[in-house]
Amino acid sequence: MTIQDQMKAQLEALPLPRREVQVYGRQIVITCQSEQAARKWGGVLAKFATVRGYTKTLEPNKEQHGTRLIERHEEHRVFARI
């Protein structure tokens, strides 16, 4: 298991809301549904990494059984570097 895998496992074990945790080399990206959750993650990451920024994107919804209720949804991301 690589250091990145270990870090990802430790971050996923935290009881904070998230959609996805990604660790690439020294870069950490946390994807959340709300800005408040992204800010909470930023506070945690700031304890051991440099928070590089926050972004908000509109992502297309995935089709479920051929129907779409909402065209797009917001996702918030936190970027940090160790």
pLDDT tens-digit profile of 24-73? 999 999 999 999 999 999 999 999 999 999 999 988 776 665 665 657 77
pTM: 0.83
Residues 30/11, Cβ–Cβ less than 8 Å: yes
Look at the block and give the residue holding tokens 């972004």: 55
Number of domains in the chain: 1
**How far is residue 38's CA from residue 78's CA, in Å, rounded to a whole number?**
6
Structural domain for 14, as ranges: 3-63+70-81
